[in-house]
Amino acid sequence: MTEPNDQQNETTTRDGLFDRLSRRLFFVGLAIMGLIAFLWSAAALRMLFPNTSRRPRGWLTLGPIDEFSTGSVDTRFKESHGFYIVDMRIDGERLLFALSAACTHLGCITGWQSSPGIFKCPCHGSGFTEAGINFEGPAPRPLPRLAIRLDDQRRVQVDPSKLYQAERGQWNDPACFIRLEAETKEVPELAANHPYDGAKS
Ligand code: FES
């Protein structure tokens, strides 16, 4: 026969067990909720910035200048390094420059549309002219140019970590364009009537 004291001890032990169990369940629940919140935030950030890029540092050697004198936009380095090489005529002068592919709104990677000849951001619809000037959507400023130069073997080099911004007058810096003297074909004029039109020298 069970004594009253034994019964009380049994009840106390059971209560303690339940207490410990429910505390443990509470913390497990908390951890699961924390994990769900973390995953949800990561997914939300991914939706906001679906396709952003990191910039490599230092000079990259791209290839001989002749490869880039095409009178068009070279997209070969967009995926790997986050920039375009543009060969176009601005104010009667033919220039080669590297343009960041990252949208100036929230950093999504733009795409080149050869017809009508614009860069378009897939995230919120910003558009940029071939020269990189924002003309539609929420992007607040032009795409920056990157440092560009020729090495002693006339190969094009770009440093993606050095940016030149039109709105700060930095497109005047000869470190962000190469003057192409030997023209191989006709290239289009920069679309007119924008405050940054012609900002290059
Ligand atoms: S990131 Fe918003 S328009 Fe490009």
Per-residue pLDDT tens digits for 103-157:
999 999 999 999 999 999 999 999 999 999 999 999 999 999 999 999 999 999 9
189 belongs to a structural domain: no
Structure tokens given for 20: 């410990």
Measured in Å, residue 125 CA sits from the centre of ligand 1 at 6
Measured in Å, residue 39 CA sits from the centre of ligand 1 at 23
Domain count across the chain: 2
pTM of the predicted structure, to 2 decimals? 0.68
139 and 111 both lie in a single domain: yes
- CA–CA gap between residue 86 and residue 62 (Å, rounded): 13
38 and 65 both lie in a single domain: no
85 and 39 both lie in a single domain: no
71 belongs to a structural domain: yes
CB 42 within 8 A of CB 140: no
55 belongs to a structural domain: no
Per DSSP, the residues of 129-179 read -TT--EEESS--SPPPEEEEEE-TTSEEEEEEEEEE-GGGTGGGSGGG-EE
Q: Which residues lie closer than 8 Å to 194 by C-beta, 6 or more apart?
A: 129, 133, 135
201 belongs to a structural domain: no
- pLDDT at position 180: 86
119 and 38 both lie in a single domain: no
- Domain span holding position 151: 60-179
119 and 74 both lie in a single domain: yes
66 and 133 both lie in a single domain: yes
**110 Cα nearest atom in ligand 1:** 4
109 and 131 both lie in a single domain: yes
- pLDDT at position 22: 78
22 and 65 both lie in a single domain: no
117 within ligand 1 shell (Cβ under 6 A): no
Pocket test for ligand 1, best of 104, 105, 120, 134 (most atoms within 8 A of CB): 105
69 within ligand 1 shell (Cβ under 6 A): no
- pLDDT at position 193: 44
- CATH number of the domain residue 149 falls in: 2.102.10.10
144 belongs to a structural domain: yes
Q: Which residues lie closer than 8 Å to 23 by C-beta, 6 or more apart?
A: none
- pLDDT at position 31: 74
Measured in Å, residue 186 CA sits from the centre of ligand 1 at 32
101 within ligand 1 shell (Cβ under 6 A): no
- CA–CA gap between residue 164 and residue 99 (Å, rounded): 9
Q: Whose CA is nearest to atom 3 of ligand 1?
A: 124
43 and 106 both lie in a single domain: no
